């Protein structure tokens, strides 16, 4: 007779960490552990069958449903996977496991313009503890460096002259990897992130003058002050339709302000696609037209490898744009100073 698994309950990957949880039903937990052993051996069909038996006892156990959908997908049992993901949506209104995106990635649901906020927040809350080390050591993450290099090239003054931006906004600031490179160039640096755990890590580094937990478009909409720099490092992979964030960035930037960001690159006809990774990729024509419509002049659009994923480079675009000055001559004459240290108002 085979030995029982050494670990009771469900062990699953959330973010970069392995989390062990229990369904509170010992029999279901035991079946889930056996199912994981079968999956580790590559027998996903048998793993899905055993998961179905476990879920008969705990039908609304979300982590178990997530494993069931994953095993069914890997076994090629797509109708079963679809039914499982739909069950997850019915059980979890904030969609913490990204079931909507999984259905959309297979064409079983219309692609959402943006993913469920609950999914993104849960994903990055789980990432936070190991985020910096994983990106730097295992994924060769290059986006902050690439954006800093572009910023230096586009900035109006010599880096040796010191602070060049009065107020900078770092969207999706995470643990502060972009902020670390912006800090020495800004008088006042603010960050926002949807993950409370990420914001906690950023605050612990004491990089930002202000860092807040919030959804970035709503955060931008609530602002009344102006900035002269907005950045978003590896953020728009979690936004499909960029029109709203482009318009929001344009609204908070003073005329002539810089907007620098990265996206994963897509070379097809569509402006945006949802990849099996559940991340969005964007095309060059879509970026060009979207920025122009929002009131930006495109300065640079560079193709670069952003990071590694499963041993392969992820190609992307690093983009630099300038907020177009759409003011009339009369408006220029009465335009107030909107940035500390920005110099005299136009005459």
Mean pLDDT of the chain, nearest integer: 87
pLDDT of residue 338: 43
Instruction: Encode pLDDT of 8-49 as tens digits.
Output: 445 444 443 444 578 889 999 999 999 999 999 999 999 999
pLDDT of residue 159: 56
pLDDT band at 335 (very low <50, low <70, confident <90, very high): very low
pLDDT band at 309 (very low <50, low <70, confident <90, very high): confident
C-alpha dihedral over 266, 268, 270, 275, to 10 degrees?
A: -50
CATH 1.10.760.10 corresponds to the domain 10-110: no
Asked if residues 313 and 302 have their Cβ atoms less than 8 Å apart, the reply is: no
The two structure tokens encoding residue 126: 């789980």
Asked if residues 219 and 200 have their Cβ atoms less than 8 Å apart, the reply is: no
Q: Domain spans of the chain?
A: 10-110, 129-333
pLDDT of residue 128: 77
Among the CATH numbers 3.40.50.150, 3.20.20.70, 3.40.50.300, 3.40.190.10, which is that of 129-333?
3.40.50.150
Section 126-148 average pLDDT: 83
Instruction: Name the pTM for this structure.
Output: 0.84
């Amino acid at each position: 007779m085979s030995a029982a698994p050494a670990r009771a309950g469900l062990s699953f990957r959330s973010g970069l960490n392995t989390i062990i949880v229990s369904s509170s039903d010992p029999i279901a937990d035991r079946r889930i552990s056996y199912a994981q052993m079968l999956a580790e051996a590559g027998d996903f069909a048998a793993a899905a069958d055993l998961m179905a038996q476990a879920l008969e006892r705990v039908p609304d156990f979300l982590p178990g449903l997530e494993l069931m959908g994953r095993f069914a997908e890997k076994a090629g049992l797509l109708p079963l996977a679809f039914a499982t993901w739909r069950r997850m949506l019915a059980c979890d209104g904030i969609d913490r496991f990204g079931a909507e995106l999984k259905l959309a990635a297979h064409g079983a649901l219309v692609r959402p313009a943006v993913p469920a906020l609950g999914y993104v927040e849960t994903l990055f809350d789980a990432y936070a503890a190991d985020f910096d080390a994983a990106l730097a050591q295992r994924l060769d993450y290059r986006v902050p460096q690439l954006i800093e290099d572009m910023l230096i090239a586009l900035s109006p003054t010599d880096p040796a002259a010191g602070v060049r931006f009065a107020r900078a906004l770092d969207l999706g600031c995470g643990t502060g990897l972009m902020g670390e490179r912006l800090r020495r160039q800004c008088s006042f640096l603010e960050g926002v992130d949807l993950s409370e755990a990420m914001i906690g890590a950023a605050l612990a580094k004491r990089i930002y003058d202000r860092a807040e937990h919030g959804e970035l478009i709503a955060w931008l909409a609530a602002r009344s002050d102006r900035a002269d720099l907005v950045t978003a490092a590896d953020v728009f992979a979690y936004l499909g339709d960029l029109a709203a964030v482009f318009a929001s960035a344009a609204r908070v930037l003073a005329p002539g302000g810089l907007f620098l960001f990265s996206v994963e690159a897509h070379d097809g006809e569509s402006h945006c696609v949802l990849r099996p990774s559940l991340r969005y990729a964007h095309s060059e024509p879509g970026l060009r037209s979207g920025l122009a419509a929002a009131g930006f002049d495109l300065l640079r659009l560079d193709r670069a490898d952003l990071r590694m994923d499963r041993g392969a480079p992820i190609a992307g675009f690093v983009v630099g744009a300038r907020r177009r000055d759409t003011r009339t001559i009369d408006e220029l004459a009465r335009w107030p100073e909107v940035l500390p240290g920005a110099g005299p108002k136009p005459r």
